């Protein structure tokens, strides 16, 4: 059974770089592709980035200059770095397995609040 668990700082300051980790269990991350998706409080879902098992990456054009997604195969983890954060980046951040254009399963999410 595939399970995903996000972890993050909880709180970040404006202009800083946000770092999130997603630990995957039940499968090797090299067997699939993965994504990060976020949801601001009370709002809809926004896809952030995608990493192929080969290491190729795709990004939402609105975030491509600030987001970096990567895999750590030794730890079976994927990560997200988001630079120059503002209050608009406050959201629940989810990781999910990406399978033929859909996301399944999802982690339970981690809330990140950006505030001075």
Partner 1 sequence: EIVLTQSPGTLSVSPGERATLSCRASQTVSSSYLAWYQQKPGQAPRLLIYGASSRATGIPDRFSGSGSGTDFTLTISRLEPEDSAVYHCQEYDTTPSMYSFGQGTKLEIK
Q: Do the Cβ atoms of 11 and 111 come closer than 8 Å?
A: no
Could you say whether residue 10 binds partner 1 (CB under 8 A)?
Answer: no
* CB closer to partner 1 out of 16 and 45: 45
What does the alpha-carbon distance between residue 43 and residue 60 come to, in Å, rounded to a whole number?
A: 17
Could you say whether residue 36 binds partner 1 (CB under 8 A)?
Answer: no
* CB closer to partner 1 out of 13 and 94: 94
DSSP conformation class of 2: -
Q: What is the CB neighbour count within 10 angstroms for residue 78?
A: 26
Could you say whether residue 8 binds partner 1 (CB under 8 A)?
Answer: no
Point out which residues bind partner 1 (CB under 8 A). 35, 44-47, 50, 58, 60-61, 94, 100-109
């Amino acid at each position: 059974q595939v399970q995903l668990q996000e972890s993050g700082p909880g709180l970040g300051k404006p202009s800083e770089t946000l770092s999130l980790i997603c630990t995957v269990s039940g499968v090797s991350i090299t067997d699939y592709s993965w994504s990060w998706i976020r949801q601001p409080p009370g709002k809809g879902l926004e896809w952030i980035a995608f990493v192929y098992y080969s290491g190729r990456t795709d990004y939402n054009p609105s975030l491509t200059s600030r987001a970096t997604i990567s895999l750590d195969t030794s730890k079976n983890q994927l990560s997200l770095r988001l630079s120059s954060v503002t209050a608009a980046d406050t959201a629940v951040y989810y990781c999910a397995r990406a399978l033929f254009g859909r996301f399944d399963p999802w982690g339970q999410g981690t809330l990140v609040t950006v505030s001075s």
